A and B are shown apart, each in its own frame.
Chain A
């Protein structure tokens, strides 16, 4: 079994290296630089700044030294927020984004699967239509619109939740709901369709012929088989949600990581662009790896790297 995992780990590093390389050269090919602002900076000052951040070195030298520092997990200093290193920025933002992201995932997965299962069981019934209407709304309403609507209804018109910021559980409710509605809807629709397919399988009929109760049939026999597509989706979804979302964090003034993604690009803050990209990619790659492991646990037919005995 080991050769598979070794291969997998090597592939993960190769992927990450490709991403780093591509991002690095694409980033430097964008016109402009961190110091090109409206204010005309003195040429000598600019030169000094460039040489301070080694931006005057040839690109391949910069690339080499970046890779070297990356190996020691040093993502370099932020050019725009010079008081902080990129490590510090991520260290500050990521825990908040992750907290928001984890809760969002829990809500999206639990509600999405429940909604999907109920819809599948009442296939073409009124509950099915209601659940799927909800899901279509969840998919088609962008989360920033959802966020504004939620704030308007539950923080302004009917002030039960605070409008913004991130300090108590009450503060978390609205951003979690806004962020979870989309993924929840996707999971619900996916669960429903694969559940309907599984419920028509012969082994479900066998289970019924054994006299099992409907609850046992659904949770023990059907759900496990129906969840494979959901698990597949979950890896990418989790990486996206955990590393923060710019819009939601902006709207609710949550000090997460999401804003660095967007702001760093506008400001050409090279080390931050690189840092956030590498971090996001690493998380995504790890999530996909976990998903592959989960396949083997859910479905015994998938034995990763093991020879059939």
Chain B
């Protein structure tokens, strides 16, 4: 499959008065054409920072990409100029943010906010821009778009606003769409509609989507591939099936166990004990070791190698090492 985007060994840190926070510590993944890759993990694991680094939107200072490559169409985005980057933002790679209530400018009509995006990247007039914006608003399912485009964000509901944000992101037909928690601020029925819209749009336009979320329910609905992030590292990658039915990393298992289930008799939640490590001074070994019930001595000392289980399923865990006691591996 054709790779659209390749992230290689990305490190991002934020300098603060207390020292450097190493938010992303060596993330590697690629995105194939037309697929949806979900990056899941708890708050503060570095998933949003990763996505904003791809767009080079992390506030700098204090944020800085300290190491690694972001390859898009053979170009390394970590060292192109800001002017070049502006041509890529919105045109080739676009982004959707979490809260549609605040992501739109309250003083500009939604139509204008979509049109200015197209006109920034394509040499077209206001009238043509309007036409393109109108088509896009219809595509994302906004009824009577011609009237609606003259209105302002406060005249739209949350779900409709998120559709506007999506229209804005897609209007230049980007190849990559990064959606950072696109449904978190919406209620469940709207959430389902928006996810449906993502699938629909992907079918029509073939856009590749990186979906950042902490909601495993969302992931189960739309992701082709899943990357599980913990403390600035991707600890397990696999197809949706592999991650949900055959998770190998103790953290992934813990994450899946902590999802409330309606069908189980035993309604008690099973949280993961403890809390993520301090990223001012991340542990040398596996960052999950301190919370892991299967931790061995080696875990807290050396970070495990990647173990390839299938063509796409990879996991960073010492339990997969051939030297690990087999009993232990079987038990988890």
Contacts and interface: CB of A to CB of B under 8 A. Distances in A.
B102 A201 contact: yes
B156 interface: no
A301 B154 contact: yes
Contacts of A220: 108, 116
Contacts of B107: 224-225, 298-300
B91 to A, nearest CB: 6
Contact of B90 (A202, A210, A224): A210
A211 B57 contact: no
Given A210-B120, A213-B86, A301-B152, A205 B57 contact: yes
A160 interface: no
Given A225-B105, A299-B107, A211 B88 contact: yes
B69 to A, nearest CB: 21
Contacts of B120: 210-213, 216
A207 interface: yes
Contacts of A298: 107
Contacts of A259: none
B87 A211 contact: yes
A301 B151 CA distance: 10
Interface string A39-70: 00000000000000000000000000000000
Nearest to A203: B105
Interface residues of B, number: 30
Contacts of B155: 308
B89 A211 contact: yes
Nearest to B152: A300
A308 B151 CA distance: 12
A209 B105 contact: no
Contacts of A202: 97, 99, 102-103
Interface string A195-211: 00000011101111111
Contacts of A299: 106-107
Contacts of B105: 203, 206-207, 221, 225
Interface string A280-304: 0000000000000000001111000
Contacts of B86: 211-213
A209 B89 contact: yes
B121 interface: yes
A298 B108 CA distance: 10
A211 B121 contact: yes
B168 A210 contact: yes
A294 to B, nearest CB: 13
A11 B169 CA distance: 47
B108 A209 contact: no
A298 B87 CA distance: 30
Interface in B48-90: 55, 57, 86-90
Contacts of A211: 86-91, 117, 120-121
A203 B116 contact: no
B94 A300 contact: no
Contacts of B109: 300
A298 B152 CA distance: 12
Contacts of A208: 57, 89
B38 to A, nearest CB: 20
Nearest to B95: A209
B154 A210 contact: no
B134 interface: no
17 contacts: A203-B104, A205-B97, A206-B97, A208-B57, A209-B89, A210-B89, A210-B120, A211-B89, A211-B90, A211-B121, A212-B86, A212-B117, A213-B86, A221-B108, A224-B107, A224-B108, A300-B106
Interface of A: 201-203, 205-213, 216, 220-221, 224-225, 298-301, 308
Chain A to chain B: the 5 pairs with minimum beta-carbon distance, closest first: A211-B89, A211-B90, A202-B102, A210-B90, A203-B105
